Amino acid sequence: MKQVLAIYPGSFDPVTNGHLDLIERGSKLFDRLVVAVLQNLEKDPLFSVPERVEMLREVTRPWANVEVDVFDGLLVEYARRRKAQALLRGIRAISDYEYELQMAMMNRKMEPNIETVFMMPSVKYSYLSSRLVREVARLHGPLKDLVPPLVEERIRAKVT
């Protein structure tokens, strides 16, 4: 029987409880799920790629079928190399949908054999983004329930 591998790409700077919600749910839908950290040289990240990978590996430990990896370049090229059948993407709002639809259609044009699966976040995470977490952290606001405790600790160490 064919094993279905999905890739959940993102910057994960930092990983939030919303990301973990999708990872947990995605781990139940797919035989294997690769959380793929994008190396984007154009962004000014709070955490380096190795720091993000380390945190992701720690917080995804409960799911045996979840792996953390790093990629750069085109997502579909990475997905081809990994022999993935699906891309997992989260959609919080209509603005996300418009962007994600364009990306999914472009990915389909480049690689028709890889499906994009959209998941809505749990209601309690529907507003949550890494950008907002970084902003709250820089203003020394509360991060409880936004990120895992390990991530909060690392964020506080960075912004203090």
The residue type found at 140 is H
H-run or E-run covering 23: helix 17-29
Look-up of token digits 């190399």 = 81
Exposure string over 42-79, b if 16+ CB within 10 A, otherwise e: eeebbbebeebbebbeebbeebeebbbeebeeebbebb
- What count of other Cβ atoms lies within 10 Å of the Cβ of residue 160? 7
Question: Omega before 14 cis (within 30°)?
Answer: yes
- HSE, CB side, 13 Å, CA atoms: give it for residue 107: 25
pLDDT digits (tens, 9 = 90+) for 1-14: 679 999 999 999 99
Tell me the whole-structure pTM to 2 decimals. 0.94
Cα 47 off chain centre by:
14
pLDDT of residue 109: 97
Across the range 153-158, mean pLDDT stands at 95
The band of 41, judged by pLDDT with boundaries at 50, 70 and 90, is: low
pLDDT digits (tens, 9 = 90+) for 17-32: 999 999 999 999 999 9
**Which are the catalytic amino acids?**
19, 43, 92, 130
Domains and CATH numbers, the chain: 5-127 (3.40.50.620)
